[in-house]
């Protein structure tokens, strides 16, 4: 494989601006830490990797408490937020003392992975296949071993530093959600 040497450093703000123009759905990744406590974070860096087997990829910043717990347990849940799930997105990216006391949740299964019953439209149970450090984030590839649809509402989307409800318009008419 050819390696391209990049000599032009792109500024962080320019990179952020670039990616703000690439909207995506919003998830909250949840797991259980070594003390048996639930832990989780808001994540937009999620994509499908493979159909057979069903693999997803998430990127988590290296300092994340949730990343440490995921790497230890090697299991986590992907909670896909629905259009009224903004509060969960904010809680799980904020500095509140106890994210889980601010939302409704229930154990997904005997593994106890937290399912955000109030704010997710679907939840996937994942088993870690690999972790690779990439810059200041870690790429986690995981097999999806269970899928549950828990609400019929449509997805929440994040782009241009705004939360919008699906479906957004194609002419700048996307409706921001409170
Ligand atoms: C809309 C949105 C998307 C985010 N996406 C990611 C992401 O993909 N990966 C990540 O590591 N952090 C992401 N964050 C930041 C984390 O949610 C935030 O740093 C969180 O506090 C980390 O929690 P932890 O360190 O307790 O695990 C996102 C934040 C917001 C508001």
Q: Residue 92, CB half-sphere, CA atoms under 13 Å: how many? A: 31
CA of 144 relative to ligand 1 center, distance in Å: 21
In a domain, 177, yes or no: no
Which pLDDT does position 97 carry in this prediction? 84
Of ligand 1's listed atoms, the one at least distance from the Cα of 95 is: 21
- Dump pLDDT digits (tens) for 89-136: 999 999 988 999 999 999 998 889 999 999 999 999 999 999 999 999
Of ligand 1's listed atoms, the one at least distance from the Cα of 61 is: 11
In a domain, 97, yes or no: yes
In a domain, 19, yes or no: yes
At which residue do the structure tokens 């071993």 appear? Answer: 145
In a domain, 87, yes or no: yes
CATH number at residue 89: 2.30.110.10
Which pLDDT does position 5 carry in this prediction? 61
Q: What's the number of domains the chain is made of?
A: 1
Which pLDDT does position 3 carry in this prediction? 57
In a domain, 1, yes or no: no
Q: What is the pTM of this model?
A: 0.92
| Domain ranges, residue 34 | 13-165
Which pLDDT does position 74 carry in this prediction? 97
Does the N-terminal peptide bond of residue 167 adopt cis geometry, omega within 30 degrees of 0?
A: yes
Kindly provide the residue ranges of all beta strands, DSSP E only, lying in 45-119, ordered along the sequence. Answer: 46-50, 55-61, 75-81, 106-107, 114-115
**Lining residues, ligand 1, CB within 6 Å:** 26, 41-45, 59-61, 64-66, 89, 92-93, 158
Cα(119)–Cα(104) distance, rounded to whole angstroms? 8
In a domain, 7, yes or no: no
Residue nearest to atom 18 of ligand 1 (CA): 93
Cα(73)–Cα(32) distance, rounded to whole angstroms? 7
Of ligand 1's listed atoms, the one at least distance from the Cα of 58 is: 8
Q: Using alpha carbons only, what angle is made at residue 109 by residues 157 and 146, rounded to the nearest 5 degrees?
A: 55
Burial of 106 (0-12, 13-18, 19+ CB in 10 A): exposed
Secondary structure (DSSP) of 5-27? PP-PPPPHHHHHHHHHTS-EE-E
């Amino acid at each position: 494989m050819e390696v391209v040497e990049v000599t032009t450093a792109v500024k962080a703000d320019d990179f952020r601006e670039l990616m703000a123009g690439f909207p995506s759905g919003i998830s909250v990744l949840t797991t259980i830490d070594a003390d048996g406590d639930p832990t989780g974070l808001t994540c937009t860096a999620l994509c499908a990797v493979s159909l057979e087997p069903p693999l997803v990829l998430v990127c988590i910043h290296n300092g994340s408490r949730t990343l440490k717990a995921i790497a230890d347990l090697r299991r986590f849940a992907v909670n896909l937020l629905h259009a009224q799930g903004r509060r969960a997105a904010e809680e799980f990216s904020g500095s509140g003392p106890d994210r889980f006391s601010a939302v409704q949740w229930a154990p997904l299964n005997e593994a106890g992975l937290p399912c955000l019953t109030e704010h997710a439209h679907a939840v996937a149970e994942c088993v870690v296949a690999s972790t690779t450090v990439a810059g200041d984030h870690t790429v986690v590839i995981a097999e999806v071993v269970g899928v549950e649809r828990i609400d019929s509402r449509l997805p929440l989307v994040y782009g241009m530093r705004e939360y919008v409800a699906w479906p957004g318009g194609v002419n700048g008419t996307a409706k921001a959600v409170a």
